[in-house]
Amino acid sequence: MGDSRTELDCLRAALTASGDAAYSWDVRTGSIGWHGGARELLRVDDLVEFGHAEKYLSRVSPDSIADLRRAHADQAQTGDRFSCTYEITRGDGSLAWIEDRGWFERAPDGEPIRIIGAIRGVDERQGEDVRMARLTNYDDLTGQYNRYRLREALEQSLEYAIRYQSSGVFLEVGIDNLPLIHDTYGREVAEQIVVAVSRELDRCLRASDVVGRIAHDQFGVVLNGCVGQDIPTTAEKILMAVQHASVVTPKGHLPVTVSVGAVSFPSSVRTAHDAMAKADIALEKARRSGHNCFSLYNLSESQLQDLRDSLAVAELVQSSLRQNRLNLHFQPIVSAKTNKPAFYECLLRMHDENGTAIPAGDFLPVAERMGLVRSIDRFVLDLVLNELFESDRANLAMNISTLSTTDPTWLRALTSRVASRPDVAGRLLVEITETTALQDVSETIRFVAALQEMGCKVALDDFGAGYTSFRHLQELSVDMVKIDGSFVQTIFESSNSELFVSTLQAFADGLGLDTVAECVENSEAAAILEAHGIGYLQGYHFGRPEPRRPWLEHDDRQATPTVVQDLAALRH
């Protein structure tokens, strides 16, 4: 080097010249040491104003504090470097957007002891991008994850726990008597209480824990790496932290309490949906016990045996995926007028190591409970698309699970594969069940629109199994409705079943929807359904699911124009 300055001096000079600032944040004491251009960037003469974690975090925008906490939590779990952009109030009172990047330095036992990082100013455009992302993923009032984003984080934690044989806990934290408080003191006070509880959760939980608001009066918390015996301690910590908080009203201080329900994973649950459902059961039990209470969801001996059986089935499913022992069978769906195939539904079949076929009903429900159904859906998507790519005479329908309707990776996989072959999308019908659609109507509407924009058709399967069917049909904007087989099988014995079919067909005609009757097992049922105006029929009367591909066979060529014409004739 050309002068006597040390390497550290050069580094500090470079930081100052760049306008960036480096810091060393002691996790145990909260003290923060600054280097480089900190004074200029933070617009402060004395860095003591930003020299402690509590002082620094108090200047981070309330809308941004949860972003920074999540960045720290993600790094603490994965060990990767974190990067977070947030808004801060500088020493002169002005607001600025800051990009914060760093990593945790750890003690030999793995405990984080120091955050080493750097901050730099970013322009308003980048800040707006962060703000828009927050609107999509975060709760407006508290800045915590919204329900969808928390469920995604919970799914990731479950997958990690299963893969690496670790453990975790999901908590539901419910604010006691919030509806009563809302009615008594008004919306503003109720929202102050929600924000106060959110703040206390941030203060009392670890950096690796993830918080989200899942309902008006409920939060969800993912405790990564938490073992069963630590649950009561953590729950008590939350109860005490919230109990010491209060909200000022025109009539004085209003005490706040919560109840907590907990469930361990993956020992008690294997999917995010199951974890949320069982934590909710535990929360309701805690609320019945009185305010400021905690309850843990426990498995009975029979439930433990069911879990062991499910684990065995899950292992069989995983080995089948690895060894390609899953394949498709095809069942025709025919035009009610011509009785010729319009398209074929793809039905999944699995075989064990000995080649014995396992009915889908024996493994798909277990796969859903154990968190494997998304992998199955992706596998099936590839199989179906391969068939469509192989022959332009194939018109196929496939089912997907509830989880895949909210899984952006499934949609991305479909989009990327059909981008170069738009004709493939036009020959694919995606079936979602009515119960799936009704779990989150707005999310289903988004999913249906995305599929239709690609050129795919969408059918609502098992129609009639839900309880708000007709009310939601119009807003879902699907192309086809498949009548639940229970109504078709009892159409001769039950006048109610025939009335349902007739009413549905009239309703579908009004909305411009096509209809399919499932479980058609004889010509008499086919005739009465056709008389009621049902457009398509499916069932053993027209063919059982078989591995053969009729559209590739020579003697099926005459039916091909009808197949293509019928699928293209779907009204949407």
* pLDDT tens digits, one per residue of 463-501: 876 544 566 777 788 999 999 898 999 998 888 889 989
Nearest to 477 by CA among 510, 504, 443, 513: 513
CATH topology for the 7-136 domain: Beta-Lactamase (3.30.450)
Burial of residue 285, with CB atoms counted within 10 A of its CB: 0-12 exposed, 13-18 middle, 19 or more buried = middle
Separation of CA 405 from chain center? 9
440-450 confidence digits (pLDDT tens): 677 888 899 99
Which residues have a Cβ under 8 Å from the Cβ of 512 and sit 6 or more positions away? 571, 572
Q: Tens-of-pLDDT digits for all 572 residues of the chain?
A: 445 456 667 766 766 667 789 999 998 888 999 988 899 899 999 999 899 988 898 888 876 776 787 677 666 555 668 888 888 999 999 988 889 999 888 888 777 788 999 998 888 777 677 666 666 778 878 888 888 889 989 998 998 888 888 889 999 999 998 888 888 888 888 888 998 899 899 888 877 789 999 988 999 999 988 887 888 889 999 999 998 877 777 767 888 999 999 999 988 888 888 899 889 989 988 998 888 899 998 866 676 677 677 778 888 888 888 888 999 999 999 999 999 999 999 999 998 888 888 878 888 888 876 678 888 999 999 999 999 999 999 999 999 987 788 778 899 999 999 988 889 999 999 999 877 776 667 788 889 999 999 999 999 888 876 544 566 777 788 999 999 898 999 998 888 889 989 988 998 898 899 999 999 999 999 999 999 999 999 999 999 999 999 998 744 433 333 333 344 445 44
Is the CATH number of domain 139-298 3.30.70.270? yes
What's the longest Cα–Cα distance across the chain? Answer: 99
Q: Where are the domains of the chain?
A: 7-136, 139-298, 327-568
What are the backbone dihedrals phi and psi of residue 433, each rounded to the nearest 5 degrees, phi first? Answer: -75, 155
Q: How far is CA 131 from the centre of its chain?
A: 21
CB burial readout 419-452, b (16+ within 10 A) else e? eeeeebbbbbbbbbbbebbbebeeebbebbeebb
3-class SS string, 268-306 = CCCCHHHHHHHHHHHHHHHHHCCCCCEEECCCCHHHHHH
**Distance (Å, whole) CA 253 – CA 166:** 43
Kindly report the CA angle at 275 between 274 and 276, in degrees rounded to 5? 90
95-106 sheet: strands from edge to edge: 32-36, 21-26, 112-122, 95-106, 82-89
Q: Classify 327-568 by CATH class.
A: alpha beta
Rounded Cα–Cα distance for residues 100 and 42 (Å):
13
477: left (phi over 0), alpha (psi -120 to 50) or beta: left
Question: Given CA atoms 536, 542, 546, 552 in this order, what sign does their dihedral have?
Answer: negative
Taking CA atoms, 327 is separated from 94, 332, 411, 493, 562, in Å, by: 62, 17, 21, 37, 27
